[in-house]
Amino acid sequence: MIERPAARYGRQKLSSRTRRRLAIGLFVLILAIGVVVAIVGFQRLGTGDVKGELGGYRLVDDGTAEVTISVTRKDPSRPVVCIVRARSIDGGETGRR
């Protein structure tokens, strides 16, 4: 390939082979980043070892609520701590057990 003066003609274009390699390299890099993000997201936000579900609730009076919660865990021999919070209409925490 003939070398042209860059000041007069501008930068030379990349050959089609170089452009193809660059496109493939960028695609592989973006794919690898996507896989890493998916793995990290699944580990942090995926299914946990402990799962809690609200079974039901009953308002006893203006200041008391009775709540039924079921807790499921993969390994029953490992101890876990569950915190149940009650919130008022304005969003503030009114009870914790």
User: What pLDDT score was predicted for residue 36?
Assistant: 97
pLDDT along the chain (97 residues), means of 10: 70 83 97 96 78 86 85 82 83 82
Give residue limits of the domains in the chain.
Answer: 6-45, 50-96
User: What pLDDT score was predicted for residue 1?
Assistant: 60
- Residue where the block lists tokens 């890099």: 29
Q: Please give the Cα distance from 37 to 43 (Å, whole number).
A: 10
